[in-house]
Homo-oligomer: A and B are copies of this chain.
Amino acid sequence: MSGWQPVRRTRAFEDVIARIEERIAGDGLTVGDRLPGERQLAEQLQVSRSSVREAMRVLETLGVVSSQVGRGPDAGAVLTARPAGALTDLLRFHLGLASLSLEEVIDARLMIEQWSAARAAGHGADLSALSDALERMDRAATAEDFVEHDTAFHVAIAEASGNRLIAAMMRSLRDSVRRYAIEAVERLGDTGGLMTDHHLIRQAIASGNPSEASAAVETHLRRAYPDIFRAPVTSGPPGADDRGRGEDQARSEDRGRADG
């Protein structure tokens, strides 16, 4: 009687999630469809309404459903497609927990943005969103305002790549580090250099030059985050020495906090 695998206890709400996922993947359900009400779902799946609600919270967190109170066609739980919100929350929390560092996030942003810019330059993409964002940045009065339209500019680049996953990642990366971006702009004081970069990026994409677009993006991020890109980015990421462990090994014995 040994060697038995400790069967992972399945919780009721996990069953509910699995059943809903079955319906989505198996047949039928797609974005815009409504799920049964919580009470009805509870009765159908023979669980309590509490368990159904916990399942709904999970699905809502994943950006898969959206719940509306009241009555009518829009009420209830509706299948949606909002991957970016979940990613943003995830990044924000894990930045706070220091299970991700700002360096890693900015570094990932450089990867995504270089790739997006090169991809956008490779095919004739609609760049009107870029131009709009540039104009709005010119008229921005505060750092918050500037960063808002700056984010729109960079997200537009990712969207111009044509890959929605990449675009969602870009949006989340920007949203999760919003306050750091505002600090960076305030620290720089003058946004003239950033705007010069922006126009160079736009021109490179418009003229269909992928490598030039990629280079312009790198120049831009180096200017915005000089502290993070002290060393050449192509010769090693920040803190590459003690990494490479599985994510589950992070435990309290090896945490080193900066505060007192």
Contacts and interface: CB of A to CB of B under 8 A. Distances in A.
A237 interface: yes
A29 B163 CA distance: 37
Contacts of A60: 58
Nearest to A26: B96
A248 B58 contact: no
How many copies the complex holds: the figure is 2
Given A123-B235, A163-B237, A247-B83, A255 B104 contact: no
Contact of A30 (B61, B87, B98, B111): B98
A200 interface: no
Contact of A252 (B27, B33, B53, B257): B33
B62 A237 contact: no
Interface stretch (A39-47, A131-139, A154-162, A216-224): A154-162
Contacts of A31: 97-99, 250-252, 255
Nearest to A252: B32
Interface in A74-114: 79-84, 86-87, 89-94, 96-101, 104-105, 107-108, 111-112
A107 B111 CA distance: 14
Given A32-B252, A111-B112, A166-B111, A93 B236 contact: no
Contacts of A169: 108, 169
Contacts of A252: 30-33
Interface of A: 13, 21, 24-25, 27, 29-33, 50, 53-54, 57-64, 79-84, 86-87, 89-94, 96-101, 104-105, 107-108, 111-112, 115, 118-119, 122-123, 125-126, 129, 159-169, 171, 210, 234-241, 243-245, 247-248, 250-253, 255, 257, 259
23 contacts: A24-B97, A30-B252, A30-B255, A31-B251, A32-B251, A33-B252, A50-B53, A53-B54, A62-B89, A81-B247, A81-B250, A83-B99, A105-B165, A111-B166, A115-B115, A122-B235, A123-B236, A125-B240, A129-B244, A159-B243, A159-B245, A162-B236, A164-B243
